């Protein structure tokens, strides 16, 4: 995936499919809480009934992938056995139980006698979801879309094409037994179509990429549709001079090794000069015993880090048991380093000095800033959102881990009885701007 790839014009078939999904999504957006919940129940039932068919389709995909020599880690992601499928079906039920994100009144105000303004949450419209491998993502995204009243156009990896088709057919079968139109969901099958979807502004309201940094960056660079997600996750842990070093080490180990392939794992450790030596004395043997390769600047090398980190390391997301280490003179230098190299995902400080912590929490402009805890908590489920659409590192909301809330927007509703602006200009009427109960 690189920038020489051309984004083609949407074919008439794709335009027809997207227009149809948009129309059905408009109806779905007007369905009530009960109808959307029932649709998820119907989707879950259909998945249970057709589980054998889906697992069989997956076996065929696996066989083909094996013949084509897919790596074992990709094979593991592709695999959808009965056990994984049951877990996915449970996920659908759980999404059904999440509080309705629609119809929430965020603002309620009398503008003038008899003229009342409300701001109410509504669905976005149609989601465009592009993901790699992991066919259970179809199930998860489809259930989040229906719960939030949005249509969805999905495109999965070609390795999983038979599985994805079997899942989509099953989900639509389920929807057919509910009040929600089966064509609220659609599946794209070719790469050309998924590229062309990037041009469907006006028909697709939000693109959700689930995959490699490269995939996300390519999409961000090639669409005018808003993209929910993040490319890099260059997270930092800064250990201040006033840190409890045992606590700091525990947090550093968890942040790096608990799941190094996650976007919220740290890539760089910043150490205050006053504690760098004593911290590294403790830390180096522990990291080595855990198989973590350490790369350091010259000062940390002088304290025992064996390999050098070069300039490029500060911007590298290893996604692996590799950690770059830099010694800084003070907290300001740590903040500057993060501002220069961070990806505005999640950064943490370990310190017993609340003033230093407050400074860090105020000055570091990432979607998550943490004090005395692991960066690995940056996750929708851990935040208690019940579901996660993705983690956004953009500046504007939604940012950080995004739950169902990121799939809705709002609309202003104003109701009067013949109110016109002219009477306010003439002075005949006047604004009261009185808050009403939500």
Q: Classify residue 113 as exposed, middle or buried by CB count within 10 Å of its CB (0-12, 13-18, 19+).
A: middle
Min CB(183)–a second copy separation in Å: 17
Return the closest-CA partner of residue 150 out of 19, 13, 24. Answer: 24
Count of residues in the chain:
438
Assigned token pair, 142: 């489809």
Which stretches within 71-226 are classed as H helix?
72-78, 82-97, 136-147, 161-176, 191-197, 213-221
Min CB(346)–a second copy separation in Å: 8
- If the CB atoms of residues 217 and 326 are measured against a second copy, the closer one turns out to be 217
- If the CB atoms of residues 160 and 248 are measured against a second copy, the closer one turns out to be 248
**3-state secondary structure (DSSP) of residue 59:** helix
Min CB(208)–a second copy separation in Å: 13
**3-state secondary structure (DSSP) of residue 134:** coil
* Pairwise CA distance, residues 232 & 230, whole Å: 6
Min CB(149)–a second copy separation in Å: 11
The total of other beta-carbon atoms located within 10 Å of residue 209's CB is: 24
CA atoms within 13 A on the CB side of 425: 3
Angle between helix axes 33-49 and 161-176 (nearest 10 degrees) is 130
- If the CB atoms of residues 9 and 433 are measured against a second copy, the closer one turns out to be 433
- If the CB atoms of residues 150 and 161 are measured against a second copy, the closer one turns out to be 150
Min CB(234)–a second copy separation in Å: 13
Residues in a beta bridge with 152: 127, 185
* Pairwise CA distance, residues 398 & 407, whole Å: 9
Q: Which helix (H) or strand (E) holds 19?
A: helix 12-28
* Pairwise CA distance, residues 17 & 153, whole Å: 9
Angle (nearest 5°) at CA 297 between 296 and 301: 65
Min CB(322)–a second copy separation in Å: 19
Min CB(137)–a second copy separation in Å: 22
Min CB(272)–a second copy separation in Å: 18
Q: Classify residue 266 as exposed, middle or buried by CB count within 10 Å of its CB (0-12, 13-18, 19+).
A: buried
- If the CB atoms of residues 75 and 373 are measured against a second copy, the closer one turns out to be 373
- If the CB atoms of residues 100 and 177 are measured against a second copy, the closer one turns out to be 100
Residues in a beta bridge with 220: none
- If the CB atoms of residues 212 and 430 are measured against a second copy, the closer one turns out to be 430
- If the CB atoms of residues 136 and 254 are measured against a second copy, the closer one turns out to be 254
| Bond into 398 cis (ω within 30) | yes
- If the CB atoms of residues 30 and 302 are measured against a second copy, the closer one turns out to be 30
- If the CB atoms of residues 291 and 384 are measured against a second copy, the closer one turns out to be 384
DSSP assigned state of 204: B
With contact defined as beta carbons under 8 Å apart, do 243 and 373 qualify? no
Min CB(415)–a second copy separation in Å: 4
Min CB(279)–a second copy separation in Å: 15
Return the closest-CA partner of residue 325 out of 347, 307, 351. Answer: 307
């Amino acid at each position: 995936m690189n920038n020489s790839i051309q984004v083609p014009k949407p074919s008439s078939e794709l335009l027809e499919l997207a227009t149809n999904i948009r129309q059905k999504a408009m109806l779905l957006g007007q369905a009530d809480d009960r109808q959307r919940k029932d649709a998820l129940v119907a989707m879950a039932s259909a998945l249970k009934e057709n589980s054998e068919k889906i697992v069989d389709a997956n076996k065929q995909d696996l066989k083909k992938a094996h013949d084509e020599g897919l790596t074992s880690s990709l094979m593991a992601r592709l695999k959808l056995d009965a056990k994984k499928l049951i877990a996915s079906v449970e996920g659908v039920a759980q999404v059904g139980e999440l509080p309705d994100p629609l119809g929430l009144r965020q603002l309620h105000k009398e503008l003038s006698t008899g003229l009342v303004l409300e701001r109410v949450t509504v669905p976005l419209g149609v989601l465009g979801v592009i993901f790699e491998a992991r066919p259970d993502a179809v199930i998860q995204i489809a259930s989040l879309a229906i719960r939030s009243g949005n249509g969805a156009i999905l495109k999965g990896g070609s390795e999983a094409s038979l599985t994805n088709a079997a899942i989509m057919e099953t989900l639509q079968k389920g929807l057919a037994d509910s009040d929600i139109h089966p064509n609220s969901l659609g599946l794209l099958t070719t790469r050309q179509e998924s590229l062309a979807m990037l041009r469907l502004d006006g028909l697709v309201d939000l693109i959700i990429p689930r995959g490699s940094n490269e995939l996300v960056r390519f999409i961000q660079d090639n669409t005018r549709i808003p993209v929910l997600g993040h490319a890099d996750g260059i997270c930092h842990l800064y250990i201040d001079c006033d840190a409890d070093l045992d606590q700091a080490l525990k947090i550093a180990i968890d942040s790096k090794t608990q799941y190094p392939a996650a976007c919220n794992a740290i890539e760089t450790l910043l150490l205050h000069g006053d504690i760098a030596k004593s911290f590294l004395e403790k830390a180096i043997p522990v990291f080595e015993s855990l198989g973590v390769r350490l790369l350091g600047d010259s000062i940390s090398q002088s304290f025992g880090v064996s390999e050098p980190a070069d300039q490029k390391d500060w911007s590298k997301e290893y996604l692996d048991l590799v950690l770059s280490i830099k010694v800084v003179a003070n907290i300001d230098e740590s903040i500057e380093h993060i501002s220069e190299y961070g990806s505005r995902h999640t950064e943490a400080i370990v310190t017993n000095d609340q003033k230093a912590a407050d400074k860090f929490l105020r000055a570091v402009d990432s979607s998550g800033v943490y004090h005395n805890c692991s960066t690995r908590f940056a996750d929708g489920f851990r935040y208690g959102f019940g579901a996660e659409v993705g983690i956004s590192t953009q500046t504007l909301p939604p940012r950080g881990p995004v739950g169902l809330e990121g799939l809705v927007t709002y609309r202003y509703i104003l109701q009067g009885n013949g109110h016109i602006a002219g009477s306010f200009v003439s002075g005949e009427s006047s604004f009261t701007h009185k808050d009403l109960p939500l």
